[in-house]
Structure 1
Amino acid sequence: MQPSYGEKVLLVDDSQAITALLRARCEAVAGVTTESAGSLAEVMASIESDPDRFFLAVVDLNLPDAPDGEVVDYILAHDIPVVVLTGHYDDAMRERILAKNVVDYLLKTSVHEIEHAAALVRRIRRNRDIKTLVVDDSRAFRQYIGGLLELQHLQVLYAENGREALRVMDHEPTIELVVTDYNMPEMDGLALIGALRQRRGRDELAIIGVSDTATPTLPARLLKNGANDFITKPFLVEEFYCRVTLNLELIEQMRAIREAAVRDYLTGLYNRRHLFEAGEVLYANATRQRQPLAAVMLDIDHFKKVNDTYGHLAGDRVLKQVARVLGKGLRRADLIGRYGGEEFCILLPGIEPSALGDKLEGLRATVAATRIGHEGQDLSVTISLGATLEPSDSLQTMIDRADACLYQAKKDGRNRVIIDTASPCR
């Protein structure tokens, strides 16, 4: 079972300048809140009050009342992972730091290293939601690799050969990283990588091959068969961490690119192109299975007045807040997208006709009750909604009918819902 961590980062350094810079970069890069301490005594007071609020500590190795790294041992004793900052480096220091089972250690000799520390905080926070799989027929080595990954807050699953690994993947399809040995009974790493690649692409699953073989062609064979990376035993812990981080970052970047292609940049909702692509699938399924499908068009009343009175920044905030409210009020199966300007489209598969009116009235009322902050003022807006359950002859026809009902709702005074239940709205 994975441990439960809080949401804050504890920054420990007796330099106020470094602490201020770390705080600013952690908040900007990682989006986390921080608390600071400049001595072991302050650390003890902070942790003893509530240790569970910290998921990580970034710690100076030498403090006025703890010159030999005692603060690291104290924090680790409270099950808070530690990233060590040190002002100097040598091999003896490296061995001593890594022996403490810290997340990593960084030099604080430049702004670049502070930026690196903030990026590492972001990585560790994101790792808590990532599942990994370690595959090796040696129990000792499985546990060693798993321990390294758990220090990085990753969720770890295990398999002792390729066949077992495939069974684990069937039960845990959200695994994003596999670290697999090459030499294994039943199904070796090469065969496992090939089988995994038939199921998931390089942009969805990162695979790191591991081997102690001296065969010079093996890395190329593993990479050509679908591995993202390769590392030879024995390896430096720092190199292993770097490879894990680089591969996870690459998966995230490719996911972000895919998301950017289907999302509206401002609201985060699906864009019009994806709305129609996914909507056609919903429409085809509903038609084939003779299930209800509602098409809804809505827009923000008097939106031009918001822009003219308060400026386009206020308008953007209104759009984002309305999108957030609408998204929270829908089911996972529902599809919502920004249709254009201040207009949105929602598709509700499987909704019963008797429930549609209450659902849309609830969205209307929630938006009307929402206060949107802007430059010390609370703004409020309303929405008008038009909908149809008539399947018509195409998705576009359904949307056109819903849009006609939206036009009628605005003509009748706005801030209301009109549903086309019998004949098209006029």
Structure 2
Amino acid sequence: MDRILLVEDSPMYGRLAKSRIEEHFDLPVFWTKTMEETVTLLDRADDSFSMALLDFNLPDAPDGEVIDKVLDRGISSIVFTANMSDTVREFVWKKKVADYILKDDPSSLDYVIKAMARLRRNSSRFILIVHKSDSFRTAISELLYVHRFRIVTASSGRAALEILARYPEICLVISGAEFEDMDGCSLCRKIREIHSADSLAIIGTWKGEDATAGAKFLKNGANDFIRQDFLVEEFYSRINNCIENLTLIEKLKESAMKDFLTGLYNRRSFFDRGEKLYTRTVKEGEELCCAMIDIDYFKKVNDSFGHDVGDRVIQRVAQILLEGVGKNDIVARFGGEEFCLLLKGSDKDRGWCLLEELRKKIQKNAMATTEKGEPVFVSISGGLCVSHLGCLNDMIKRADDSLYRAKQNGRNTIVS
């Protein structure tokens, strides 16, 4: 079970931190107020804690002694303190904590939440370290493990390229300046031939007095650079900046691809992905079913109950459609109350049976409730095309023609 440890002797900050963390992550927070309580809890805990927020000054551990007690259990920890002198700052970073946060006012909890959310996301992110020095790769790996990243390493440019081909989920490459087979700038150029800067980040590192090394890395495709004698705090900041920029770009791409109301693909992304699926199924000789679906008499829903209820109906119908198809299928909102589906590997019978099941489920269950708590029921009509025809557009038109016949037949039916 995923749990969070909070060590804080201040009743006010403890209550506030526990409440905010539990509310944001929906995870149980175990709060202790002294090092003795913390050690006792860790000794009897059946499951390990995934993260910890530690107060630097405790009644029985005034100088950060609790940090080692928690880090020794392999728990990624953030230090929360009201005192951040240069001495304390240096002491904390030597302990290899994930972050430290100045406890100066309640708004600092916003940073705590952000830092913890980052740690949770990092556990699914791969970073490739490319360097000819075994000791440097080990040192960097240890720093990144503190932030819960998943690490892959290579000692040459050729090995790095082979690893990137095997692990497409790698999001960041940390590269040295020289290898046996190529230099770091050459590796950057080769990576950029395959991976764009908005899908994979590169940070160049170098040792020495070459003031132009950073600029060379940037000009050859790196996102950032850092000297090998870096401060740990600077290193983490540059890593996090690269990762957060990629995350932001990913969110922007997703918002451009997805319908804002339902989270389904929008019309544009449907055609981008649908054309690829269509081409692949034609090439491999697989079946492909195209379905057009429309919510019956949807205007009456808006007129009778208002657009807020109508929006909830659309959202629930979209959810049922998405849950009812396979992971390789495509579901999109074409606009208004109309949806389009591409079902990979479905022939006429399987496609019709699937849509018929979805139709029955939607008809049987309330798709929303009014402000008075009254259930709102709707039905759908659907049209199918199960032949590749000449192109994807032809399939959509044929499915749309079938949908028109379904409406002529009285609605609440599927026509193939």
Q: TM-score, normalised by structure 1?
A: 0.87
- Residue 347 of structure 1 corresponds to 342
- Residue 96 of structure 1 corresponds to 91
- Residue 37 of structure 1 corresponds to 31
Give 1:371 shift: 5.9
Change (3 A) 1:25 1:308: farther
Pick which of 8-17 and 166-175 moved more. 8-17
For 1:295-310, list aligned pairs within 5 A. Answer: 295-310=290-305
Give, as a single letter, the amino acid of the residue that structure 2 aligns with 1:389. V
Give, as a single letter, the amino acid of the residue that structure 2 aligns with 1:402. A
Give 1:49 shift: 6.2
Distance 2:119 2:367 in 1: 33
- RMSD value, Cα: 2.8
Give 1:393 shift: 4.2
Give, as a single letter, the amino acid of the residue that structure 2 aligns with 1:388. C
Q: Is 1:114 matched up with 2:109?
A: yes
* Corresponding residue to 1:161 among 137, 156, 163: 156
Q: Secondary structure at the match of 1:33?
A: coil
Give 1:16 shift: 4.3
Distance 2:123 2:306 in 1: 40
1:89-129 deviation line (CA, Å, top 9, x unaligned): 12221232223321111111135532222111111111111
Distance 1:202 1:171 in 2: 19
Distance 1:100 1:67 in 2: 16
| Preserved contact between residue 206 and residue 227 of structure 2 (Cα < 8 Å) | yes
**Where does the alignment leave 5 or more consecutive residues of structure 2 unmatched?**
none
Give 1:307 shift: 3.8
* Corresponding residue to 2:406 among 406, 409, 413: 409
Distance 1:10 1:373 in 2: 39
Distance 2:253 2:75 in 1: 35
* Corresponding residue to 1:78 among 30, 49, 73: 73
Change (3 A) 1:250 1:300: same
- Residue 170 of structure 2 corresponds to 175
- Residue 319 of structure 1 corresponds to 314
Give, as a single letter, the amino acid of the residue that structure 2 aligns with 1:174. E
1:212-242 deviation line (CA, Å, top 9, x unaligned): 1211111111110111111112111110000
- Residue 271 of structure 2 corresponds to 276
Change (3 A) 1:44 1:416: farther
Give, as a single letter, the amino acid of the residue that structure 2 aligns with 1:409. A
Change (3 A) 1:286 1:266: same
- Residue 385 of structure 1 corresponds to 382
For 1:8-407, list aligned pairs within 5 A. Answer: 8-19=3-14, 21-22=16-17, 26=21, 31-40=25-34, 43=38, 47=42, 50=45, 52=47, 54-287=49-282, 291-368=286-363, 381-407=378-404
Change (3 A) 1:111 1:416: same
| Preserved contact between residue 330 and residue 343 of structure 2 (Cα < 8 Å) | yes
Q: TM-score, normalised by structure 2?
A: 0.89
Distance 2:312 2:132 in 1: 54
| Preserved contact between residue 347 and residue 386 of structure 2 (Cα < 8 Å) | no
Change (3 A) 1:44 1:332: same
Distance 2:241 2:110 in 1: 16
Pick which of 87-96 and 67-76 moved more. 67-76
Give, as a single letter, the amino acid of the residue that structure 2 aligns with 1:146. S
Give, as a single letter, the amino acid of the residue that structure 2 aligns with 1:317. R
Change (3 A) 1:63 1:292: same
**Where does the alignment leave 5 or more consecutive residues of structure 1 unmatched?**
1-5, 420-426
Q: Secondary structure at the match of 1:144?
A: helix
Give, as a single letter, the amino acid of the residue that structure 1 aligns with 2:396. I
Give, as a single letter, the amino acid of the residue that structure 1 aligns with 2:394. T
Give 1:61 shift: 1.9
Quote the sequence identity (%): 39
Distance 1:50 1:338 in 2: 48
Give 1:248 shift: 0.3
Distance 2:228 2:296 in 1: 64
Distance 1:207 1:368 in 2: 52
Give, as a single letter, the amino acid of the residue that structure 2 aligns with 1:162. G
Q: Secondary structure at the match of 1:149?
A: helix
The number of residue pairs the alignment matches comes to 413
Give 1:268 shift: 1.2
